[in-house]
Amino acid sequence: MAKDEIYTIPVNDGFQQDCECAFCAMQQKLENDMLDFVLSPSYMEEDVRGETNEKGFCRTHMEQLYRRDNALGVALIMQSQFDHQRKKVLDLARGAGSVKKTGLFGKKQTAEDPVEDYIRNQPHTCYICDRTDTTLDRYFGAFFILWKKDASFREKVLSCKGFCMIHFLKLIQASSKHLNAKEAADFQAAILKIQEDNDARIAEDINWFTLKFDYRYQKEPWKNSKDAVPRTIQKINSQIVTK
């Protein structure tokens, strides 16, 4: 079995859903599964704890962890991560400005500033984001396994509501890797048509939603625009939002 074949089941399940982007739905499930995993007893495994201590969590996933009904789990994570990061930060502070390197012909150059690196990178590193992105990349490989061998799956894709902008471009990009030149060209033409049609649908819905706030259209029906805002957000941000 090819390494990506084990991922065909969640990909097939993703395209069973009636949604604006099957990959967004798959990504959301991966993130929820990772939130559950981080707050499970698995967190006490040394390798997992070491990786979460180093990478931490982005603001979005930290807030989601905090809102889960597991105060002790979050506290244990924060205790371990705080101990790791405070030692790292204090060491950086003690050594700030003291790191130098010598270039060619003895010319002194300032080394890359580890303090600046920490300030710039740390807020954007995330254990859950990294794990989710890695698995989602494998889902793209599984997508093309199904596309090539499963006619019923192709029908699901061809009748879907398109994709968010990022996952659409990733799909176009991945097609050149997983298909030969002719197959990729045919796939890209088909998927572009789907995206164009559904982008037009979204544009019409969000436009009508805004018009409904004009007194001249208040008595007109909402048509399909009542949930146009969250659907448009998803198309742009790859994010499923609910109130």
Token pair of 93 as six digits: 């502070």
Residues in the chain: 243
Pairwise CA distance, residues 233 & 226, whole Å? 13
What confidence score (pLDDT) does residue 104 get? 52
Residue 173 is encoded by which pair of tokens? 């990009």
The span from the CA of 22 to the CA of 230, in Å, is 15
**CA–CA gap between residue 228 and residue 232 (Å, rounded):** 6
pTM of the model: 0.86
Predicted local distance difference test score (pLDDT) of residue 30:
97
Q: What is the pLDDT along the chain (243 residues), one digit of tens a residue?
A: 566 789 999 999 999 999 999 999 999 999 999 999 999 988 778 899 999 999 999 999 999 999 999 999 999 999 999 999 999 999 989 887 665 555 555 555 555 788 888 888 887 899 999 999 999 999 999 999 999 999 999 999 999 999 999 999 999 999 999 999 999 999 999 999 999 999 999 999 999 999 999 999 999 999 999 999 999 999 999 999 887
Q: Containing H/E element for 35?
A: helix 22-38
Written as six digits, the tokens of 73 are 């789990």
Give the single-character DSSP code of 102.
E
d(CA 76, CA 59): 18
Give first-to-last CA distance, the chain, whole Å: 42
Q: What does R_g of the chain's alpha carbons equal in angstroms?
A: 23
Retrieve residue 233's tokens.
Answer: 């957000």
Q: What are the Cα distances from residue 183, in Å, to 141, 155, 170, 205, 228?
A: 15, 16, 16, 33, 34
DSSP E strands, 29-188: 100-102, 108-110
**What is the C-alpha separation between 2 and 143, in angstroms, rounded?**
13
Q: Is 100 helix (H, G, I), strand (E, B) or coil?
A: strand
